[in-house]
Amino acid sequence: MKSSSKYRGLIAKRLSFSMAVYYLLISVLIMRLGYIQIVNPEKYTDKAIVQQQKDEIIQPLRGSILDRNGKELAVSIVTYDILVEKIYVQDVQKTAEALSKTLEDVTVEEFKAKYDDDTKRFILRKNIPLELVEEIKQSEATGLKFEENSQRKYPYGQFGSFVIGHVSYDNEGIAGIESYMNNELKGIPGRRIVVKDAENREVPNSEIRYNEARNGNTIVLTIDEVLQHHVEKVTNQAYIDNNAVSVTSIVMNPKNGEILAMASKPDYDPNSPREAKFEVYAKQLEKAQDVDQRSAIISKMWRNPSVNDIYEPGSTFKLITASAALEEDKVFADEVFYDSGYVKIKDRTIKNWTSRPYGSLTFRKAVEESVNTVFVQVANRLGAETFRKYIEAFGYGSKTGIEIPGEAEGIIYPLSKTGEVELATMSFGQSISVTPLQMINSVAAIANEGKLLKPTLIKEIWDY
């Protein structure tokens, strides 16, 4: 009995001790809450607010690209990306149904499948217009965050694509003016700090900080939209009529270097840059074995032949040979030459493009008839060193500085490797590779009293 009584006493003591500790902890907690609410409430209110603060980046609107007369060639429109924050979705079924009613391409099944993925959040759709966003906000959908974005639009579609270029999914320029002038066009992001509730909704009038985004600058091109459309049409017809691999056309003002039109076929639509608009690329993409092959074909589709590709200019280069010879007094316009139809240079027989002899004719007539053999004789009079000096003076072998990424320099034989055959063939545009832009720029220099200009596509830059 004594042992039992002693045991009950021990239990009572332990229980009393536990109760005392319990009441002590409750007292401490009450005192702490009182301290927080009465003595120093601001400090802890601030801490709570900080925990609910959301730091948001405000994306700038990309600058427009205009033609020389102010017509819009590339513009950005404000859109929104829908981000689903799973933790804040109150009812998955209701949210899925609400979204499927507003967004035509979203199904309940798709939403649930994405919701069941092992992620805390996911982007449901990108580039949704404001009117649909407002409609979604009035629906039963919960747990959504609408991030402001922008979408690039090219009003004229498959027009001037090699000049204008296009942007990536994240609005970074990756071709043409869009790429070369990206830093001017993209703008500077802003910043916004707000307080949000447990459902990730912004608390009214809770904005703590706001740094406005600076939209991108506007680029005014030298391109004339009306002329460009005409050149596009003519170039496409030449591509079809001649069953050509590629056709390039450039219109340039020889007095100031402004490019008024620049077109090549086949080309692409910057609104859907990965989609082939010409059969030649469509077939290549269809046969592509893997992602690398497909990427290589698409990259080729985006290349601007006017500045990125080189070719042997052929007889158009005779203008350079003639100009150099006339400048050096190595030939005179009415000087008479004799053409037998061919000329022998070492082991190489060079014929006229017509394969017929012209007999006696003046240099003026040789230029009109594009007689190869006469130009070989003229090049020999110039000599390799002098001829090369003029070739370089006309801008060959160097970039023009046009505002297009990836400009090629062309290829000129080193002087040490320019023998009699190379000198002869260069006189009529072989054994040398140039870009179409180098070719038109050098001819423009002849029309501009020998002054070689830097060709340009940029007329003005307007600050936002």
Q: What CATH number is attached to the domain comprising 237?
A: 3.30.450.330
| 232: pLDDT strictly greater than 70 | yes
Query: Do the domain assignments include residue 331?
Result: yes
234 shares a domain with 163: no
Most confident of 84-98, 126-140, 421-435: 421-435
Residues 392-416: what's their mean pLDDT? 97
Q: Of all helices (H) and strands (E), which one includes residue 226?
A: helix 225-241
Q: Residue 207 in 3-state DSSP?
A: coil
User: If pLDDT is split at 50, 70 and 90, which confidence band does 33 have?
Assistant: low
Query: Do the domain assignments include residue 262?
Result: yes
163 and 156 in contact (C-beta within 8 Å)?
A: no
Greater pLDDT, 323 or 208: 323
178 and 166 in contact (C-beta within 8 Å)?
A: yes
The tally of domains found in the chain comes to 3
In angstroms, the Cα distances linking 268 to 159, 205, 273 are: 8, 47, 6
Q: What pairing do the DSSP bridges indicate for beta strands 342-345 and 348-351?
A: antiparallel
CA 148/CA 127 separation, integer angstroms:
9
266 shares a domain with 168: no
CATH of the domain at 398: 3.40.710.10
Query: Do the domain assignments include residue 263?
Result: yes
238 shares a domain with 187: no
146 and 81 in contact (C-beta within 8 Å)?
A: yes
| 36: pLDDT strictly greater than 70 | no
Give all strands (DSSP E) within 298-374, no chain letters: 336-339, 342-345, 348-351, 359-362
Q: Tell me the per-residue pLDDT of 92-149, one tens digit each, with 9 for 90 and over.
A: 999 999 999 999 889 999 999 999 888 889 999 999 999 999 999 999 999 998 988 8
238 shares a domain with 211: no
323 shares a domain with 252: no
| 445: pLDDT strictly greater than 70 | yes
Q: What is the pLDDT of residue 193?
A: 81
Residues 209-223: what's their mean pLDDT? 92
436-447 and 318-327 are packed helices; what angle lies between their axes, rounded to 10 degrees? 40
Q: What is the pLDDT of residue 40?
A: 57
Within a 13 Å sphere around the CA of 429, how many CA atoms are in the beta-carbon half?
20
Domain that holds residue 362: 314-434
263 and 248 in contact (C-beta within 8 Å)?
A: yes
Q: What is the pLDDT of residue 43?
A: 52
Q: Tell me the per-residue pLDDT of 290-327, one tens digit each, with 9 for 90 and over.
A: 999 999 999 999 999 999 999 999 999 999 999 999 99
139 shares a domain with 246: no
Domain stop point among 161, 183, 218:
218
User: If pLDDT is split at 50, 70 and 90, which confidence band does 31 have?
Assistant: low
Active site residue 315: yes
153 and 178 in contact (C-beta within 8 Å)?
A: no
| 357: pLDDT strictly greater than 70 | yes
| 52: pLDDT strictly greater than 80 | no
Query: Do the domain assignments include residue 453?
Result: no
User: If pLDDT is split at 50, 70 and 90, which confidence band does 369 have?
Assistant: very high
Q: What is the pLDDT of residue 375?
A: 98
Of all residues in the chain, what percent carry a pLDDT higher than 90?
76
Q: What is the pLDDT of residue 438?
A: 99
Q: What is the pLDDT of residue 263?
A: 98
Q: What is the pLDDT of residue 205?
A: 64
Query: Do the domain assignments include residue 452?
Result: no
Q: What is the pLDDT of residue 30?
A: 66
Query: Do the domain assignments include residue 120?
Result: yes
237 shares a domain with 212: no
Q: Where are the alpha helices (DSSP H) in 165-288?
A: 176-180, 182-185, 225-241, 279-287
Q: What is the pLDDT of residue 320?
A: 98
Retrieve residue 296's tokens: 């290589």
- 462 forms beta bridges with 218
208 shares a domain with 83: yes
The whole-chain average pLDDT of the chain stands at 90
Among residues 100, 139, 315, 370, which one is catalytic? 315
211 shares a domain with 67: yes
User: If pLDDT is split at 50, 70 and 90, which confidence band does 449 have?
Assistant: very high
423 shares a domain with 372: yes
